[in-house]
Structure 1
């Protein structure tokens, strides 16, 4: 398959994503299925984790959620009920 310099932007973006995964990993090799499963998904999870962490910090600053630190140091994000939410009564 020939790739030209005017390749679609999403192909260029995917190529850059793969290049980021390869940084610091020497002598890596895989099949197309392995690249999809291990390289792409792993890189996306890593990048999404940072984005989600920033989004949760934003929600905390806005007062939408509260945060507790668990004994092992991980953070627990807790949704705050809105003023229109009714309390649930257990029967």
Structure 2
């Protein structure tokens, strides 16, 4: 995925979070539900890279549940 496509994917995730600020999901859930209307159908690896970038930028929080599942949520909503 080129940088422009990665930026578009990141923007798609952020747009979803603007509409659903309390959303929290795994990378698979982000692909299936948050990006369901995305005609580009990004790969799981691309989604995981986008999520990692958003975590690095402080916009998403990565939370590991006791069973090892990793979920992502808006950093602001994670503080509540």
Question: TM-score, structure 1 length as denominator?
Answer: 0.37
* Between structures 1 and 2, the one with greater helix share: 2
- Taking CA–CA contacts closer than 8 Å with sequence separation of 6 or more, which of the two structures ends up with the larger relative contact order? 2
